[in-house]
Structures are given as structure tokens and as C-alpha cells.
Amino acid sequence: MTKKQKKMLYRIVAAAVGLIAVVLLDHFGPALLLPVWPLYLIPYFIIGWDILWKAIRNISHGQIFDENFLMAIATVGALAIGEYPEAVFVMLFYQVGELFQAVAVGKSRRSIAALMDIRPDSANVERDGEIAEVDPDEVQIGETIVIRPGERVPIDGVVLEGASALNTAALTGESLPRDVASGDEVISGCINLTGLLRVRTTKEFGESTVAKILDLVENSSAKKGRKEQFITRFARWYTPAVVIGAVALAIIPSLATGEWTKWVEQALIFLVISCPCALVISVPLTFFGGIGGASKAGVLVKGSNYLEALARTETVVFDKTGTLTQGVFTVTAVHPGDGEETALLETAALAESYSSHPIARSLREACGRDLDESRVGEVKEIAGRGVQAVVDGVTVYVGNDKLMEDMGARWRPCHNIGTTVHVATADAYLGHIVISDRVKPDAKEALAALKRAGVKKTVMLTGDAKEVGEAVGAELGLDEVHAGLLPADKVAEVEKLLEEKSPKGMLAFVGDGINDAPVLSRADVGIAMGALGSDAAIEAADVVLMDDKPSKIAAAISIARKTIRIANQNIAFALGVKAVILVLGILGKANMWAGAFADVGVMVVAVANATRALKAD
């Protein structure tokens, strides 16, 4: 408990003891010939002075209709009609509920804060031959920092010296360490477990992974879902309606029967029962807990509106490379024309020597020798086709079937499963190379889990050849495969799928977050996969998976649906109990004690239920 919460606990205990003492004294009051009722004001003001003050202050600021006003008018009215014990008890019970709610919210915030406690306190930077401990904000791009075993990586960078294992659990939810060595990238927020690392920073702290993630989580509550917006609008109209209803209940029957005391009391009970605390508190707390539970599993959700969309997802569309497959290409076959395999590989590798594309890297690795880049002249990238390069003074074309068709080459179709890279000059077809990508180990189970979760359709969009796409689709059990697509074609396919889904259903697109930004933005829910250290993924997507596992998608949907289920439970329970006791109150069958349970008791149960959303199971 915080110091403020402890003070409230002491007030509750003091007021409870005072109430019991006055009730006992009231029992013997007639024999003692003492007027006991003024003594009830002591425990009443001990426990309720702040509620009364808030009500007065809010009224002065034009904020009349809130729970403080309802509790103040109800309990002061109870005192006015002689219901002294009830007035004190209602205020006491309300404060107990408020304390319970404050502790529950604090627990949720502490759990998320502990989970996301990834901001480093300092960075050890090398300056003028010495190591200085500075604030991470003071470290510039290109400086060298030293990370000792047990310390948190403060800023994104590249390892210059050393080898170690990094604990990435706070970012990915995975306990398996990640090994790094010289030349590898490291991202802020991870913990260095074993060796000493010297790292050259590649970003300022404000642009590093840890800063972006913290900003994302802290601002997630600003994007409210429909249920939260409904509760906000509901409370805005509900409270004034309740007050008007209570006034009507006090006046109209009293004019007809003349029993003013009876109907004023019923109106006060009506006010206590109607307090909307359970809804106003528990529903936002449920979504807050759901976002925290998802974070614990390595899934960052940018707002409760996206959590709601995830829960209604019925179509999931995947990019292939880097999403369902590992994105690690290897040369599996070489089919030269009239020359040798080695010469064909060398020509292709030289043409792709300046490209950072995974296929280009696989060609260079398969070549197995140092390439003399001085042999390469002008290089031209042809979007969606390949490259045109001058190698040893000859213009060479390296790319897919469409490139061969465009240049009118007499190319040979390939019957191997994989990505075909053709190599040709303006005068001759030199041959083709087959490159294959491997399916991720958990991809098949991930798609099966989505089906079990109720997802109606799974679709894959890829720029690869039809044969490659269909082979992967058959292996994984996808419902549809659309191959040979350019980025603009992927957007067009998503547009079609959006038209096909049901009115209440949602479409999620899962991509690597780097070259899929247009599709991520167009889908109802954009999910960036394997976004550890990817700025583009964190910026473009609505949901960010911090590791490379497709299985996290089904987990994210499960967490979202659990959160919505808890929110619905709280709404139904709160409104249902209040409706029953309101009717009983109007009929004179519910007293002030029942009214207190309908308000605070329901709130306590709803808040306790809401905290379940923090668990990621």
C-alpha cells in the first residue's frame, strides 16, 4: 500500500470503531437519558469529509453530477431524515470500495511497470580513454559504450568486441537467451548475461527500441475501444438522469400520499444504488489489464480499440517471407545454360553485390569467394523484377520470370520448388538458380491454433512465384494463396478480402513491418511480426509481436477475447444487480444497506474480476 492508501485504511478503521461505539451507546442511550445522534457525525466526518469536499469543489467547477455528488447528497439526506447509522455505513462502505479499487489499480500498474522496467538508468561510455557513467540521453550516435555482465543494454547498437548471451524476456516474453558476437546488432532493454561487450551506438536514446516501446505502452490508454467510449458517454448522461429520477421519486409519490419521509428515504436509497462506480472503474481497468497481460507475452497493443478489433478477427492475412518463413534463403539448385555452375553463380553474385536483399545475400554466400566489385559497373534496380548490372563490361539481367519476359529472353521454366533467379544478357540466356526459404518451426501449429480460435479464413500474399506460394500454402494448410504480387497488388488483394468479410468481423494483416507498411495500414488490424529492433514495424503496426513466432498471433487473439469477455461480464453484472435492487428500492423492498451493496459491493466484485485480465493465459 502507498502512504495515501495506508492513511485511508486508518480512517476506515477509526470510523468503523467509532460507528460501533456510537451504535452501542445508542442502544443504551434511552437509559442514560443522553441525545446520542450528534455523536454519529464524528465517524461520518472522519470517513466522509473528503467526499463532501470533492462534491463541493466539483460543483464550484461546474462538474455536478459525479459519484461524489451522489454519495454526498444520499448520506446527508439520510442524516436529515434520522437514518444516522445507515448514513455512516454507506459512506464507510463506499470508502472501503474506493480503497480496494485503488489497491487493485496500483497492483496492475506495478505489474506492468515491473514488466516494462526496461529503461536503463545509465550508460558506460568511452570518452578520452576513460569510461564515464552518463545518462543514456547524453550518448551520441557513433559513440562506444561498455556493457558489463548483469547490466541492461542502454541504447541500440552494433557489437564491436566481445561475445555474450542476452536476456530478451522483457521484450519478447521468451526465456531463451539470444547469443551475440562482434558485428551483431543489439537493442536496448535486453540484459547482458555473460561476457563484456563493447558496442557502437547506432541511435540516440530517444529513438532506440526501449524508448519507443515505453512510449507505446504508456500511451496505449489514450486509444479507447468502443466499450470504454460507451461507458464514458453512459456516465455522462446516466448520472444526471439518476438525479432527476431520484427527485421525481421523492416528490411525485409524496404529493399523492403525503408520506414525504418515506419517499425521500426511497429516493436517497435510489441514489446510492445508482452510483455508476462499478462500470466507470472496472471497464477501463479491464482493458488496462488486458494490454498489460499482452505485454507480458511479448505482444504490444497500441490501444484498447485494437484489442477489441483483435477479439473480432475472422480473417488473418500473412506475408510469406519473414512471417511464415524464416527469410533465410539458401541456394538449392544451379542450372547453367552452356557454361559452368561456378561462372553462373559468380555473375549473379556480382550483379547483386550492392543489394541488401536476402536473395542477394544468399547468392553471395553461395558463390563462396571474395568478389572483386571493381568488375561491376552501373547497377539498376528494377522494382518487382530484379537488377540490371554491367559485369565485366557486359550488361547482365538477374531476376524473376517477369524480367525475362520484359526483355524477351528465351528463358527456361524451372520445375524445382523455390524462388527462381534467371541470369541473362541481351544476347544469351545464361541459366537459372533456385533459392529456397524454410518455413518457421511453429508456423503450421500457429495456423492450426488460429482455426481453433475461430478464425474463418487464413490467406497468404507473396511476391514469389505461384508454385512456391502454393507449396508453402499446402504445407501449412492455408485457405488461400495469392502469389506473384507487387506491394500495390497486396493492397488490392486486402481490399477485396475486406469486402468479403462479415460486417462485424475484422481482418488482420501480419507482416514483417518493413516493406509491408501500406498493407499494415489498410487492414483493420496491422500486426508486425519479428519487430525486435524494427522501427518501421513499431511505427506502422497496431499490434507489435516482439519476436519471430507466428504462434503469438493466436495468443494475442486469445488475450483480446478474454479481455472483452471480462469487460462484458462486468457490464452485465453491474447493470443487472443495480436494475434488480433499483426496482426493489422503488417498491420499498430495499433499504440503505442493500443500496450500499448494490454500489460498493458490485464495484468490489467487478474490480476483482477486472484484475484477471492482467494474466496472459
Q: Catalytic residues, which ones? A: 319
CB-facing half-sphere around the CA of 251: CA atoms within 13 A: 6
Neighbouring CB atoms inside 10 A of 287's CB total 28
Question: Hey, is 282 helix, strand or coil?
Answer: helix
Instruction: For residue 168, give the nearest of 531, 555, 541 by alpha carbon.
Output: 531
Residues in the chain: 617
Element (H, E) at 609: helix 602-610
Strand-pair partners of 436: 330
How many Å apart are CA 447 and CA 455, to the nearest integer? 9
Q: Which residues contact 422 (CB under 8 A, 6 or more apart)?
A: 386, 397, 398, 399, 400, 401, 403, 404, 409, 411, 429, 431, 432
CB 286 within 8 A of CB 563: yes
The pair phi, psi for residue 480, each rounded to 5°, is -140, 150
Q: Which residues contact 573 (CB under 8 A, 6 or more apart)?
A: 278, 602, 605, 606, 609
CB 481 within 8 A of CB 471: no
Phi-psi region of 129 (alpha: psi -120 to 50; beta: other; left: phi over 0): left
How many Å apart are CA 302 and CA 244, to the nearest integer? 39
Pairing of strands 325-336, 429-439: antiparallel
CB 6 within 8 A of CB 106: no
CA distances from 89 to 26, 48, 79, 108, 580 (A): 15, 10, 11, 29, 21
Neighbouring CB atoms inside 10 A of 483's CB total 19
Nearest 5°: the CA angle 557, 560, 562 is 110
In 134-275, which ranges are continuous DSSP H helix?
169-172, 209-218, 226-257, 260-274
How many Å apart are CA 254 and CA 248, to the nearest integer? 10
CA distances from 402 to 398, 411, 422, 468, 591 (A): 11, 11, 10, 15, 80
Neighbouring CB atoms inside 10 A of 334's CB total 17
The sign of the CA dihedral 5, 10, 13, 14 is negative
Question: Hey, is 47 helix, strand or coil?
Answer: helix
313-323: string of b/e by CB count within 10 Å (b at 16+)? bbbbbbbbbbb
